[in-house]
């Protein structure tokens, strides 16, 4: 079993929908949690990060971490076609670049 | 991917050939990482260098070697390429803050 599990989808939604992306993890030592967006044939780019449990909001994006259930979520409000990409969750400890990634979820937002 | 360069962008090798992937940064961050990305597997850490002069193994180091040439450059070497090393390789640069993480554009490697 991978330490970070993510449903690969694919997920297809209409423009304007609320998107919910989810991951679970098994390693209690993970302290911070990241979401990356990756467009086709590009490198991942950091979208959101959260330290420990709680919520973090940035524009249309909200990241949630529930350490008691080991659950990581990303919500996208008012989704746009430009949000179509692969979304990767990741978790790590004190070494910021030493991360364990989920498999990635392919999201398509159609007009 | 500004500030992180990877060369080459594409490479096709035959089994048993060797090659070196290069990563360079101009952001003056200490930590550099090599990941590989395979369908259904996500990104997996191969090797990393927390600072100039140090390197450590990640999750999947077998078949690879690394060199931290200086603070700017971190190379990944395949001594004898195998088809299982067909993948997309990404370099990650990390600073001292959680949001200081930058991936390079990637190198697409095919081993025949």
Nearest CB neighbour to B42, from listed A32, A88, A95: A88
Whole-number pLDDT of residue A105 = 95
Test B101 with A104 for CB contact under 8 angstroms.
no
Q: Are strands B107-111 and A99-101 parallel, antiparallel or unpaired?
A: unpaired
Test B100 with A32 for CB contact under 8 angstroms.
no
Please compute the mean of the pLDDT values over residues B31-57 and round it to a whole number: 94
Sign of CA dihedral B40, A31, B93, B77: negative
Whole-number pLDDT of residue B99 = 82
Q: Does B66 touch chain A (CB under 8 A)?
A: no
pLDDT tens, B51-105? 998 999 999 999 999 999 899 999 999 999 999 999 999 999 998 887 889 999 9
Write out chain A residues lying below 8 Å of B33, CB-based: 97-98
Q: Which of residues 3-32 of B touch A (CB under 8 A)?
A: 4, 31-32
- Supply B54's token pair: 């140090």
d(CA A7, CA A20): 11
Q: What is the mean pLDDT of chain A?
A: 93
Task: Let me know if A28 is exposed, middle or buried by CB neighbors in 10 A (0-12, 13-18, 19+).
Answer: exposed
Query: How far from B30 is each of A38, A61, B69, CA to CA, in Å?
Result: 24, 30, 12
d(CA B78, CA B18): 5
pLDDT tens, B70-83? 999 999 999 999 99
Q: Enumerate the β-bridge partners of residue B35.
A: B45, B90
- Supply A102's token pair: 């989920």
């Amino acid at each position: 079993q991978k330490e970070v599990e993510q449903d690969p989808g694919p997920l297809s939604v209409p423009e304007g929908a609320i998107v919910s992306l989810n991951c679970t993890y098994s390693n209690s030592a993970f302290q911070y949690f990241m979401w990356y967006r990756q467009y086709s044939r590009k490198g991942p780019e950091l979208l959101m990060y959260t330290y420990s449990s709680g919520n973090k909001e940035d524009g249309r994006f909200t990241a949630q971490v529930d350490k008691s259930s080991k659950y990581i979520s990303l919500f996208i409000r008012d989704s746009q076609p430009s949000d179509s990409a692969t979304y990767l969750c990741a978790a790590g400890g004190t070494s910021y670049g030493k991360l364990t990634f989920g498999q990635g979820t392919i999201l398509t937002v159609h007009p | 991917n500004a500030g992180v360069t990877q060369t080459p962008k594409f490479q096709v090798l035959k089994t048993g050939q060797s090659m070196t992937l290069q990563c360079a940064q101009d952001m003056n961050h200490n930590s550099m990482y090599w990941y590989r990305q395979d369908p259904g597997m996500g990104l997996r850490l191969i090797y990393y260098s927390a600072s100039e002069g140090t390197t450590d193994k990640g999750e999947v180091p077998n078949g690879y070697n690394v060199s931290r040439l200086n603070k700017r450059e971190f190379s990944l070497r395949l001594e004898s390429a195998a088809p299982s090393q067909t993948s997309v390789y990404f370099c990650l640069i990390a600073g001292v803050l959680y949001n200081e993480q930058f991936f390079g554009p990637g190198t697409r490697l095919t081993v025949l």
